[in-house]
C-alpha cells in the first residue's frame, strides 16, 4: 500500500519540466506529494489539482515515471500516468501510485489499450469497475507529447477504469472497437461507479 511520505529531494530537470507541463495543462492550484512503497525503497511524486477539469473532480499526474524505460515495439515510449476522479475518492492517488510502482519496479509496459488487471478491485473504490486501461490524455492535448529536455519526450497516458466485461470485449475485439463504443456511449470515465457498456 503506497504511503504519503515527507521530505523532498530536488527533482531532475526533466522532472521539473514534466511538472510544469502538467500544471499548465491542468490549471488550478497544484499540490505535489511524495508516495513510497512499503519499505520506502521506491518513491513517486503525485501532482494533484482540485476542481479540474470540472468542479468536484481532481486531476492527477505522476512525476518521475518517465525516468524508467518503457519499450513498446522496440521504441522507448516514456510516460507519465494521469487520472481524473471525483475529489472525494481519497484512495485514487494511491491507485495511481501503485500503477506507477508496477511500471518502475515490475517493468510493466504502458501504452494506449494496455490494461493493468485488477488494480481498481484492489482498492475497493468501485462497485462496477475492475481494471485500469490506459488511453491518450483525453482532456489535455498538450500532454500527448512533451519535450522535457535531456533528449526525452514524455507522453502522458490517462487511467480509464473498465469492468471485467469491457476487458473481455477488448480482448475479443481490440482497443479501437472498445474505444469507439465508449465514444458512442459518451462514457464518463472518471465515474468509478458507472454502468459497463457491455
Question: What is the distance between the alpha carbons of residues 176 and 97, in angstroms, rounded to a whole number?
Answer: 27
Which residues are within 8 A (CB) of 150 and not within 5 positions of it... i.e. 6 or more apart? Answer: 12, 13, 14
Q: Each residue of 55-101: pLDDT tens digit? A: 999 999 999 999 999 999 989 999 999 999 999 999 999 999 999 99
Q: Please return the burial class of 88, using the count of CB atoms within 10 Å of its CB with bins 0-12, 13-18 and 19+.
A: exposed
42 falls in which pLDDT band (50, 70, 90)?
Answer: confident
Question: What is the distance between the alpha carbons of residues 8 and 3, in angstroms, rounded to a whole number?
Answer: 14
Using the predicted structure, report yes or no on whether residue 7 has a pLDDT greater than 50: no
Question: What is the distance between the alpha carbons of residues 63 and 32, in angstroms, rounded to a whole number?
Answer: 9
What is the predicted pLDDT for the residue at 63?
A: 96
Q: Are strands 71-72 and 43-50 parallel, antiparallel or unpaired?
A: unpaired
* Alpha carbons within 13 A on the beta-carbon side of 30: 18
Q: Name the DSSP letter for residue 1.
A: -
Question: What is the distance between the alpha carbons of residues 87 and 89, in angstroms, rounded to a whole number?
Answer: 5
Q: What distance, in Å, lies between the first and last C-alpha atoms of the chain?
A: 31
pTM over 0.75: yes
Amino acid at each position: 500500500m503506497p504511503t504519503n511520505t515527507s521530505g523532498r529531494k530536488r527533482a531532475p530537470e526533466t522532472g521539473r519540466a514534466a511538472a510544469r507541463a502538467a500544471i499548465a495543462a491542468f490549471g488550478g492550484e497544484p499540490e505535489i506529494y511524495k508516495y513510497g512503497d512499503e519499505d520506502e525503497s521506491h518513491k513517486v511524486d503525485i501532482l494533484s489539482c482540485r476542481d479540474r477539469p470540472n468542479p468536484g473532480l481532481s486531476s492527477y499526474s505522476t512525476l518521475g515515471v518517465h525516468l524508467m524505460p518503457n519499450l513498446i515495439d522496440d521504441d522507448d515510449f516514456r510516460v507519465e500516468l494521469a487520472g481524473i476522479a471525483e475529489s472525494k475518492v481519497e484512495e485514487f492517488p494511491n491507485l495511481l501510485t501503485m500503477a506507477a510502482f508496477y511500471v518502475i519496479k515490475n517493468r510493466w509496459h504502458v501504452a494506449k489499450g494496455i490494461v493493468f488487471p485488477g488494480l481498481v478491485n484492489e482498492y475497493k473504490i468501485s462497485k462496477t469497475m475492475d481494471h485500469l486501461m490506459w488511453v491518450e490524455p483525453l482532456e489535455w492535448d498538450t500532454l500527448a507529447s512533451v519535450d522535457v529536455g535531456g533528449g526525452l519526450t514524455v507522453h502522458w497516458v490517462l487511467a480509464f477504469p473498465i469492468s471485467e466485461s469491457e476487458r473481455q470485449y477488448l480482448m475479443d475485439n481490440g482497443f479501437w472497437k472498445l474505444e469507439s463504443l465508449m465514444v458512442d456511449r459518451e462514457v464518463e470515465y472518471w465515474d468509478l461507479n458507472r454502468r459497463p457498456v457491455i
